[in-house]
Amino acid sequence: MASEFTLYYDPLSQPSRSILLLLKVIGAPHKVHLLKLLEGEHMKPEFIKVNPLHTVPVLVHGDFTLTESKAIARYVLNTHKSDDHWYPSDPKKRARVDEYLGYEPGNTRKAGVDIIVNILFKPMQTRKPITEEKIKEVMGNLDKVLTGFEEYFLKDRPFIAGEEISIADIFAVSEIRQPEMSGIDYLSSHPKVSQWMDRVRVATQPHFDEVFQEFGDFTTGDWRARLNIP
C-alpha cells in the first residue's frame, strides 16, 4: 500500500484544516494540493475527476480515494501508526469521540455555517447588508450551541474524551473557530470554550499555528473589501 497520503484542501474549509492538522500531528507522510473554493477551483474538470462531488477535503492513498472528513480521519489513524489517544481503543472514550463527531454536523458546524452564509455570502450575492435582527438570530443560535458544548462535552474535562486530546477536539476547534470570519466576538461569554481551545492549540503545536495561519490571515484582514461585501 502507498505510504504517502495526498490531501486536497482549502484552508478556509473547517474539515480540511482538521485533516491537515491530524496528518501533521501524527507525522503521517503527505503532500497537499491547495484548492481555492472561493475561486471555483473545486468545479474544474481536473478536480472533478478526483472527486465528482467537488468537495474538500479529499484524501488519495494510492488508488484509494475518500471524500468525507470523518472517514478520512479514521482511515488515516487505522493505516498510520499513531498514539492511541487520537482515536482511543477504550470503548467508552472512543464512544465519546464518536458521539461528538455525530453531534457536530447539525450543531457546531451548522451554527458556524449559518453565520458565514448570512453574514458573508448572502450579502455578497444580494448586495444587501445583513440586518441586525438576523445577526442576533444566528449569533444567538451559536451561543446556545457553545453553551451545550461547554455543559455536556467539556464539563470539567480538559478535552472531549477526557484527559487527552483526540480527533474530536481537532474537528471541534476548527468548527468553533470558523465564525471568526464574521468579525463578531462570540467567545468572551464562553471562557471554558476559550480555555479548551488554548489547550488544543498547545497540544498540537507547532502544527496548529501553521495550519491556521492562512485562515487567521484571512479573518483578520480586510476580507469584506476583497470579496466586495457591503
Give the pLDDT of residue 225. 55
**C-alpha cell of residue 97:** 469521540
- Which are the contacts of 94, defined by CB distance < 8 A and separation ≥ 6? 87, 88, 161
Residue 142 is predicted with a pLDDT of 98
| Of 230, 128, 113, the residue nearest 179 (C-alpha) | 113
DSSP letters for 135-201: HHHHHHHHHHHHHHIIIIIITT-SBTTBSS--HHHHHHHHHHHGGGGGT---STT-HHHHHHHHHHH
Q: What was the pLDDT predicted at 120?
A: 81
Distance CA 22, CA 70 (A): 11
- Global confidence as pTM: 0.92
Looking at residue 216, its pLDDT comes to: 73
The per-residue pLDDT for 230 is 45
Write out the three cell numbers for 137: 438570530
Could you list the mean pLDDT of each consecutive 10-residue stretch along the chain, which spans 230 residues?
A: 87 96 98 90 92 96 97 97 97 98 98 91 82 94 98 96 98 96 91 98 97 78 52
